[in-house]
Amino acid sequence: MAYNVLVMAEVEPYRTILPMIEEQCRVVRWHPDDDAWRAELGDIDGIYVYAHIKVGPELMDSMPKLKVISNFGVGVDHVDLAAAQQRGIPVGNTPNVLDGATADITFALLLAGARNIVKGDHFARGPNFVEYDPSFMLGQEVHHQTLGIVGLGNIGYQVARRAQGFDMTVLYHNRNRNAQAEAELGVRYVSLDELLAQSDFVALNMPLTDETRGMIGRRELALMKESAVLVNAARGGVIDHEALLQTLQAGKLHAAALDVTEPEPLPRDHPLFALDNVIIIPHLGSATEQTRQAMSDRSVGNLLAGLEGKELLSRII
Ligand code: 8YV
């Protein structure tokens, strides 16, 4: 086998990944507690990262032959990109192939938060649903309302497209203005404060970076309408969870609908679980059979290209 690859995964990778890598490489399995893999570091040519395990400068420096880091997923906040860049190691990720699935889950959470889908499901199964009452569980209208998208990248763009089908007015906030999206979708750029104050729904679709960490804190949550729904399909770290907890406990939002949390998973006794105005799902943004397969193909493709010194199919640096 020409190359040695360190597969960093705490769980078994999606079913096609290891067979594809093993066709051309020898796999060394990383382990959080058992250090046997460390003996192999001098021979490792590539790292394959599955599900957000941290890759820092010490690890990179312990692999003199390292040629590529390939990440399963588009978000690479767990990889020290500056350190990789300094060392001239390309980092591959999986943009585009997961935009549709992640936009779909953003919209699913938006609808579920607005229309009490999860709360309604629990109620319909429970002992108290013995009489239908047209006055209970009133939600918030979605169609013709205002959606504010924070992070109008590829995923945010797809969220805006879905909002068009619901006749929504779409505001966005982003590092840079997106003239193409403005022209194609009629979305309007506003400041973050304006977006929070005017939107009936706020969808977070930005990457986690030094700039976005804790972006939605106490002050920002207080700017939102009490009838609003906050959807996070980005990373847990973009929201201050203590501030969110207090806001929801005080009933200052209609609902929060979270695909991601910080930490992830939350401790099993976390106080957010006691609230019925929050929906939490276990990071399912891109979790469809089709998208997982596409992410596998892209990330293994990036790995193999990097090992052979070729241009990656998609690289973040
Ligand atoms: C992935 C994601 O499931 O791509 C991303 O950034 O957050 C998810 O779609 C995850 O990264 C896989 O580990």
Is 189 exposed, middle or buried, given 0-12, 13-18 or 19+ CB atoms closer than 10 A? middle
Mean pLDDT of 153-157: 98
| Res 52: pLDDT | 96
Mean pLDDT of 127-132: 97
| Res 216: pLDDT | 98
Q: Domain spanning 3-95+290-307: which CATH class is it, in words?
A: alpha beta
| Res 292: pLDDT | 98
| Res 119: pLDDT | 97
- DSSP, res 309: T
Question: Residue 100 above 80 pLDDT?
Answer: yes
249 — phi, psi (to 5°)?
A: -60, -35
Q: Domain spanning 99-280: which CATH class is it, in words?
A: alpha beta
Ligand 1 centre to CA of 76 (Å) is 9
| Res 238: pLDDT | 98
Q: Whose CA is nearest to atom 9 of ligand 1?
A: 286
Mean pLDDT of 284-304: 98
What mean pLDDT value characterizes the chain? 98
Res. 270 pLDDT band, cuts 50 70 90? very high
Q: Whose CA is nearest to atom 10 of ligand 1?
A: 73
Which residues make up the CATH 3.40.50.720 domain(s) of the chain? 3-95+290-307, 99-280
Mean pLDDT of 183-197: 98
Choosing from 55, 71, 74 the residue with most ligand 1 atoms within 8 A of its CB, the one to mutate for a pocket test is 74
Q: Is 31 a catalytic residue?
A: no
- Ligand 1 neighbours by CB, cut-off 6 Å: 51-52, 72-75, 98, 285-286
| Res 215: pLDDT | 98
Question: Residue 165 above 80 pLDDT?
Answer: yes
Question: Residue 1 above 90 pLDDT?
Answer: no
235-253 pLDDT tens trace: 999 999 999 999 999 999 9
Query: In 10 A of CB 245, how many CB atoms?
Result: 17
Res. 35 pLDDT band, cuts 50 70 90? very high
Distances (CA, A) of 185 to 164, 195, 313: 8, 17, 28
Query: In 10 A of CB 110, how many CB atoms?
Result: 29
| Res 248: pLDDT | 98
Mean pLDDT of 282-294: 98
Q: Which residues contact 139 (CB under 8 A, 6 or more apart)?
A: 114, 115, 116, 254
Distances (CA, A) of 86 to 12, 60, 226, 257, 287: 31, 11, 46, 38, 33
Ligand 1 centre to CA of 135 (Å) is 40
Q: Which residues contact 84 (CB under 8 A, 6 or more apart)?
A: 55, 60, 69, 90, 91, 317
| Res 197: pLDDT | 99
63-81 pLDDT tens trace: 999 999 999 999 999 999 9
Query: In 10 A of CB 155, how many CB atoms?
Result: 29
CA dist 271 and 236 (Å) reads 16
| Res 89: pLDDT | 98
Q: Is 235 a catalytic residue?
A: yes
